[in-house]
A and B are shown apart, each in its own frame.
Chain A
Amino acid sequence: MTELSIPRPAAARLRSLDTADLSQVAIWVYLAVAVGAGIFVRLWQINALGFNSDEAVYAGQAASIAHDPELSKFFPVFRAHPLLFQSILSLGFQFGVSDLFGRLLSAGFGVATVILAYQLGSQLYGRRAGLFAGLFMALMPYHVIVSRQVLLDGPMVFFSTLTLYLLARYALSGRAAWLYGAGAAMGLTFLSKETSILLLGAMYAFFALSPSVAIRLRDGLISLGIMALVILPFPISVLLAGRSDTGGQYLVWQLFRRPNHDWMFYPSEVPWAIGPLLIVVALAGLWLLRKERSWRETLLLSWIVVPALFFQLWPVKGFQYLLPIAPAFAVLAGRTLARWSVDADLGSIGKRLANAWVGPVLASVIALSLLIPAWQRVQPAQTDSFLAGSGGVPGGREAGAWINENVPEGGQILTIGPSMGNIVQFYGHRKAYGLAVSPNPLHRNPAYEPVDNPDLLIRSNELQYIVWDSFSADRSSFFSDKLLRYADRYHGRVVHTQTVTVDGPDGETQKEIIVIYEVRP
C-alpha cells in the first residue's frame, strides 16, 4: 500500500483524490463490481461465432507450436508477428486445440488490463480515479470486442498498460528499477505485436516533454538494453529457424502495400468504440483542470497522440490498431470525474452532497453509455457483412466443420480471398487458396500462396472445391464474380450452403453467406 505525504497544496489535493472518503472495503467492492462486469461482457456468448481470419491464423500458429498434426500442415509457426501470445496459447493446445480456450485466454488478458487500468489510475490520480478508469475499461466496447477474440492486440494492450504503469511508478518514485521494469514490459509489448514498437516514440515524447521527470542516461540505456534482451528471442528464433527471409518479405510488404481503408477510417470508427461521452469527459478534464497540468497528463497524452498520429498517417489501417490508447483515455476520464467529486465548493451541505454525487452519477452515465453498445456488440449477430477484427464470422466454423466431415482428406479448396481460406483451413483441415492473393510478391502477404493458374489446378484435379462467401464478396466483387465463373465453367455443384437470418424490408429472410461448390474438370 502506498501513502503519499506531499506537503504542498497540489499534494494535498492528490491525497484527497486518493482514499479520502472511500474505505478499503468499499474500494474492493467497487473494484470487484467493475471486474465482474468486465468478465461478464467478455464471456457472454464468447464462442457463439467461430473464428475470423486473424483468429484462425494465430490459433493455427499456436496449434503448430503445440505440434498439432492437422493444423501444422496449414499454419507455419513463423509468419509475420512475434509469437509470445501464440506460445502461451500453445501450452493450452497441448491438451487439444480449442477455439473456446483461445478466446478465454484472450479475455483473461482483457480482464487483467482492467485491473491494470485501475492500478494506473490509482497511481496517477488516486483510488477513485482508478476505480472509474477500471470501470470504463471493463465496459468499453473497443476493448471488450477485441479482448474477446484470439488477437495479438489484447495481450499487447495488457503489456503496454503495464509499461505505462511502471513508467508512472518511475516518475513518482525516481527508482531506476521501475524504469528497468518498464523496459522489460515494453519488450513484452513488442513480443505481443511488433507494431507496438512505436510506443517507444510515446515514451520518448513523454521524457522530452516532462522536464520534471529526469532520467539518467545510464538508466535509460539499461532500460533499453533490457528491452532489447527481451525482444531478442524474436529475431534469433526466426533466424535459427531459417525464416529470416519471411520476416524481410513481410516488412517489404507492409511498407509498400496498398492502403486498405480511407483517411476517415479511424475518426469514424474508433471514437464510437471508445465511447464518445468518455472521450468528451477526458478532454473536458484536460481543459478544465489545465492549471493542474503535470507530467501525468503528458504521459497519458503521449500514449494517445503518438499511436493515433502514426496510424492515421500510416496507409495500412486496422480496427484494433489504436487499442493501446484506450486505457489512457479511461484514466483521463476517471481523473476528471474523481476531481469533480472532491474539489468542489464545500460551502453548504446541499452543495457538498450534490458534488459528492456528481462524479459517481456521471460515471454511471458514462458506464451505461459504454455498456449499451458493448452489450449490443457481444451478441452473436447474424449478418452477411463483416469488419475485420470486430468479431467472429457467422457460419465460418460451421462451413469448416462440414468441409472437415465431407471433403476427402487432402482435398483442396479455392476461396475468394485468403481470409475465408484461413477459416476453412482452421476448421476444415483442408488446404485453401485465395483467388485474390496477388501473384506479385510486393502486393501480397508473404504468408499466402497465390494461385497462378486455377484452371490448370481444377483440370488436373488439384482443386476440387470452391467456397464463395458474402463477406469476401462484399470486399471484392471482382474476385467474387471470377470465382463464380470457375464454379460455372467446371460444372460447379452446390454441396453445402450456410445461411443466416437477416432483417430486410420484407421481414426476416434467409440469406446465403457461404456456398460450397464441388467442381470437376
Chain B
Amino acid sequence: MIRRGLLIGAFAVSAALFARPVSAQGPQATTPIEHFVVLMQENHSFDNYFGTYPGADGIPEGACVPNDPADAGAGCVEPYWLGTDPSRDLDHDRAAFLEQYNEGRMDGFVSAVTHGSSDGRGAMGYYDDRDLPYYWNIADEYVLFDRFFQSAGGGSISNHMFWVTGTAGVGETIPDEGFGELPTIFDRLEKQGISWKFYVQNYDPTINLRHQGVGDRASQVVWVPLLNYARYLDDPELTSHIVDLDEYYTDLERGTLPSVSYIVPSGASEHPPGSIRAGQRFVRTLITSLMRSDAWSSSAFMWTYDDWGGFYDHVAPPQVDEWGYGFRVPTLLVSPYARLGHVESTTLDFTSILKFIEENWGLAPLAGRDAQANNFMTAFDFSQPPREPQFLAATRGEESRLTANRALVYAAYGFAVVLPLAVIAWALFGRGTPPPGLPSGEMARAGGRRS
C-alpha cells in the first residue's frame, strides 16, 4: 500500500510539474490525457473484424444464421473467412438493422441482405489477423473494446450525429436548414477555451450543407456533421477549426496538436468495397505520427466505426431508447496509459467518447445519452508511467515456425556432429592394420608397428 501510495504521489507530482496544455487557455485535463484524438472509420461489425480474436467476446462456437428466420428448413449460413473475396457494400440502413436485429433474436443477418437484393451469405463473412495484422497487433499491445455499440441502429448520419452531439439529430436525413442550435461537443470546448480541430482527409471547403457535392465527395457532409450547421459555416472562427488532415501532421510536428481532435477519412475509410489494407495503412500513419511527436506522452488515440456495415455480430445490443444501441463496432484505444493487451468489456457507445471528453475537461453533458453513458476510463492505467512509443508492425509474428526451425536444426546438426565423432574415435582408438595386398601406408611399407 505504501509503495502504491508513493507511486501515486510521485505521479501526481510529476503530472503537476509537466502537465502543460498546448493551448494556454482553458481548464486543465483531469487525467494525464491532454490530447484526445478520435477517428471514425466506416462500416464493419465487431465480429467482422475481431470475431476470432482470442480473449474477446467473438463469434460463438456453432454459430449459424438462418437463411430465412421464418423457415427453419431453409438452412443457415455459418460465419466464414472472407479472405481475398471482394468486399461488398451490404445494406446497413435502419430497416436492415431492424430486420437483422429481429427484436433481439439476432437471426436476420442473412435474410435482410438477401431482401436488399444482395447475396445474404456475404453478411456472415469475417476477417482475421491475416487480413488485419496491424489492428490485431494493436489489440495485442493496447486496448480492444468488445462491448462498444454504435449509438443508433441505423446508418452514418445518425451515428455521426451521436458522435458529435449525443443525439441522433433527426435520424438518417440532414435538414435543409441544417441542425440549427443543436449543441455540439465543440460548442462546449469553444466556450471553455479548450483547443480543438476537426481534421478531414482531402477536405474540400466548398462541400457543405449548401453545396453537398456529388458521388463519393458527398460523404463529406455526412461524416463532418459540423458542415451541416449554418452557424459553423458562417463564423470564420469556428470554420477555421475544420481543416484538412495535412494539418494533423504539421500540428504534431510543431507541437500544436489541440486538446481534442476529431478525424474523418476519405478514401481510406474501409467502407466496403474499399480496401481494408489501405485503411490500416492510414490508421498506422496517424498513430505512428502521434507516437513520434512530443504529444505522445500525454495523448490517447481512439478509432471506431460509424456502423456495422450490414455484417454479422452475435451480441444483441441493449435498447436504451428509440434509436439504439445498434450492433457492436470495432473500437481500439492507443495511449501511453492504455492497459497492455487489454480487452475492455464495459458497455459503451459513441456518446461514451463525449462522456470521456466531458469528464476529462470538466464539461457539461450535451444530452441525456452522453450524461448516462459509461466512460472508458477503466481502459487506462494512470498509475503507470507513460509507455514508450511502439511502432507496431503491419505483419503478424511467425512464432510456431521459428520453434519448429530450432528443433530441426538441433536434430540435423546434432546427428552431423555425433557421426564424425564416432568415426574419428574409432580411427583413434580402434585397432587395425592395412588390408593385405595394399601397398599403402609408409609405416606399413616400412614394416613399422604402432605401440
Q: Which residues of A come within 8 Å of B, CB atoms?
A: 1-8, 11, 64-67, 72-73, 77-78, 83-84, 87, 90, 162, 166, 169-178, 180-181, 183-185, 187-188, 191, 212-216, 226, 229-234, 236-237, 240-241, 408-412, 460-461, 464, 520-521
Closest 10 CB pairs of A and B: A174-B441, A410-B391, A233-B412, A174-B434, A184-B420, A214-B440, A177-B427, A181-B427, A408-B389, A174-B440
A104 nearest CB across to chain B (Å):
19
Q: Which of A8, A191, A410 has the most CB of B within 10 A?
A: A410
Contacts of A230 in B (CB 8 A): 416, 419-420
Could you list 25 examples of A-B contacts with CB < 8 Å?
A1-B451, A4-B448, A5-B448, A6-B443, A64-B405, A65-B405, A65-B410, A73-B397, A83-B409, A162-B424, A166-B424, A171-B441, A174-B444, A176-B432, A180-B427, A181-B424, A183-B423, A184-B423, A188-B417, A212-B445, A214-B438, A214-B439, A408-B292, A408-B389, A464-B292
B249 contacts chain A at the CB level, 8 A cutoff = yes
> Is there contact, CB below 8 Å, between B424 and A185?
yes
| Cα–Cα distance between A411 and B435 once the two chains are bound (Å) | 66
A243 nearest CB neighbor, chain B only: B405
The closest CB in chain A to the CB of B410 belongs to A87
Closest to B402 in A: A72
Task: Verify A184–B253 contact, CB threshold 8 A.
Answer: no
Q: How far is the CA of A66 from the CA of B402 in the complex (A)?
A: 10
> Measured between C-beta atoms, what is the minimum distance from B201 to chain A in Å?
14
CB-CB < 8 A to A162: which residues of B? 424
Identify which of residues 403-424 in chain B touch chain A, using a CB-to-CB cut-off of 8 Å: 403-406, 408-410, 412-413, 415-417, 419-420, 423-424
- What's the least CB distance linking B387 to chain A, in Å? 10
Is B18 close to A, CB under 8 A?
A: no
Indicate whether A409 sits within 8 Å of B416 (C-beta atoms), given known contacts A2-B450, A166-B424, A172-B442.
no
In the bound complex, CA of A211 to CA of B281 (Å): 71
Which residues from chain B contact A226 at a C-beta distance below 8 Å? 419-420, 423
Q: Are A187 and B391 in contact (CB under 8 A)?
A: no
| Partner-binding segment picked from B38-46, B82-90, B150-158, B282-290 | B282-290
Q: Are A408 and B291 in contact (CB under 8 A)?
A: yes
**Is the C-beta of B73 less than 8 angstroms from some C-beta in chain A?**
no
- A177 B432 Cβ-Cβ under 8 A: yes
| Given A216-B438, A237-B412, also A461-B285 (CB < 8 A) | yes
Enumerate chain A residues within 8 angstroms of B392, measured Cβ to Cβ: 410
- Interface: B294 (CB within 8 A): no
Partner of A461, one of B292, B408, B412: B292
Question: Is the pair B435, A409 in contact by a Cβ cutoff of 8 Å?
Answer: no
Q: Are B447 and A65 in contact (CB under 8 A)?
A: no
Q: Is the CB of B443 within 8 A of A410?
A: no
Cβ of B206 within 8 Å of any chain A Cβ, yes or no, is no
How distant is the Cα of A191 from the Cα of B389 in the complex, in angstroms? 42
B288 is contacted by which of A1, A84, A461 (Cβ under 8 Å)?
Answer: A461
Asked if B408 and A178 sit within 8 Å, CB to CB, the answer is no
A65 lies within 8 A of B443 (CB): no
For the complex, what is the distance from the CA of A65 to the CA of B401, rounded to whole Å?
Answer: 11
Number of interface residues of B (CB under 8 A): 55
**Residue contact B408 to A191, C-beta cutoff 8 Å:** no
A122 to chain B, nearest CB (A): 15
Q: How far is the CA of A214 from the CA of B426 in the complex (A)?
A: 21
Which residues does chain B contribute within 8 Å of A5, judged by CB atoms?
Answer: 446-449
Give Cα distance in the complex from A185 to B181, angstroms: 88
Query: Is A172 within 8 A of B441, CB to CB?
Result: yes
Query: With A191-B413, A410-B393 known to touch, is A77 a contact of B405 (CB < 8 Å)?
Result: yes
When C-beta atoms are compared, the residue in chain B nearest to A178 turns out to be B427
Q: How far is the CA of A234 from the CA of B423 in the complex (A)?
A: 19
Q: Smallest distance from the beta carbon of B340 to chain A beta carbons, Å?
A: 13
Q: What is the distance, in angstroms, from A189's C-beta to the closest C-beta of chain B?
A: 10
A166→B427 contact, CB < 8 A: yes
User: Looking across the interface, which residue of chain B has its beta carbon closest to that of A14?
Assistant: B442
- State which of B389, B402, B419 has its C-beta within 8 Å of the C-beta of A67: B402
CB distance from A67 to the nearest CB of B (A): 6
A273 to chain B, nearest CB (A): 29
Give min CB distance, A244 to chain B, whole Å. Answer: 13
Whether B388 sits at the interface, judged by CB under 8 Å, is yes
Pair B430/A233 contact, Cβ less than 8 Å? no
**Given known contacts A2-B450, A215-B440, is B413 in contact with A464 (CB within 8 Å)?**
no
Judge if B390 is at the interface, Cβ distance under 8 Å: yes
Q: Binary interface profile of B, 297-337, with partner A (CB < 8 Å = 1, else 0)?
A: 00000000000000000000000000000000000000000
List A contacts of B441 (CB < 8 A). 170-175
- Is B30 in contact with chain A by the CB < 8 A criterion? no
A520-B253 contact, Cβ under 8 Å, with A169-B427, A175-B432, A461-B289: yes
| Chain B residue at minimal CB-CB distance from A406 | B388
Shortest Cβ distance from B292 into A: residue: A464
Q: Is B433 an interface residue (CB 8 A)?
A: yes
Q: Which of A65, A188, A240, A461 has the most CB of B within 10 A?
A: A461
Separation of A433 and B446 alpha carbons in the complex (Å):
64
Type the 1/0 row for B262-294, where 1 means its CB is closer than 8 Å to any CB of A: 000000000000000000010011001101100
Interface residue from B285, B403, B438, B448 paired with A460 (Cβ < 8 Å)? B285
Bound: A521/B250 CA distance, A: 10
> Within the assembled complex, what's the spacing in Å between the Cα atoms of A90 and B446?
48
Among A169, A409, A520: residue with most chain B CB under 10 A: A409
What is the CA–CA distance of A170 and B438 in the complex, to the nearest angstrom? 13
Question: Contacts A77-B402, A241-B405 known; A521 to B249 CB distance under 8 Å?
Answer: yes
CB distance from A304 to the nearest CB of B (A): 21
CB atoms of B405 and A175 under 8 A apart: no
- Shortest C-beta distance, A465 to chain B (Å), equals 10
Expressed in whole angstroms, the minimum distance between the Cβ of B389 and any Cβ of chain A is: 4
Report how far A72 CA is from B17 CA in the complex, Å.
Answer: 41
A408 pairs with B390, CB closer than 8 A: yes
Instruction: Say whether B438 contacts A520, CB under 8 Å.
Output: no
* Chain B contacts for A11, CB-based, 8 A: 446
Does the CB pair A180–B423 fall under 8 Å?
A: yes
A234–B451 Cα distance when bound, in Å, is 39
Least Cβ–Cβ distance between B356 and chain A, in angstroms:
26
Q: Tell me the bound Cα distance from A67 to B398 in angstroms.
A: 12
Residues of A near B410 (CB, < 8 A) are 65, 87
Contact B430 A177 (CB under 8 A): yes
Q: Closest chain B residue to A6 by CB distance?
A: B446
Find the A residue at minimum CB distance from B447: A7
Q: A67-B406, A184-B424, A230-B420 are in contact. List 11 more A-B contacts (CB 8 A).
A: A171-B441, A172-B443, A175-B427, A178-B427, A180-B427, A226-B420, A237-B412, A241-B405, A408-B388, A410-B391, A521-B249
Residues of chain B lying within 8 A (CB to CB) of residue A8:
446
Question: Which one of B281, B416, B426 lies within 8 Å of A177 (CB-CB)?
Answer: B426
Assembled-state Cα–Cα distance A187/B262 (Å): 65
**Which single residue of chain B is at the shortest CB-CB distance from A430?**
B391
> Which A-chain residue is minimally distant from B252 (CB atoms)?
A520
Of B288, B432, B442, most A-chain CB atoms within 10 Å? B442
- Residue on B with the closest CB to A214? B440
Q: Are B408 and A171 in contact (CB under 8 A)?
A: no
Q: Is the CB of B427 within 8 A of A409?
A: no
How far does the alpha carbon of A214 sit from the alpha carbon of B433 in the complex, in Å? Answer: 14
With both chains docked as a complex, state the minimum distance between the C-beta of A183 and any C-beta of chain B, in angstroms: 8
Report the minimum CB–CB distance from A256 to chain B (whole Å): 28
Q: How far is the CA of A171 from the CA of B445 in the complex (A)?
A: 11
Contact residues in B for A7 (Cβ distance below 8 Å): 446-447
Q: Which B residues lie within 8 Å of A166 (CB)? A: 424, 427
B405 close to A4 (CB less than 8 A): no
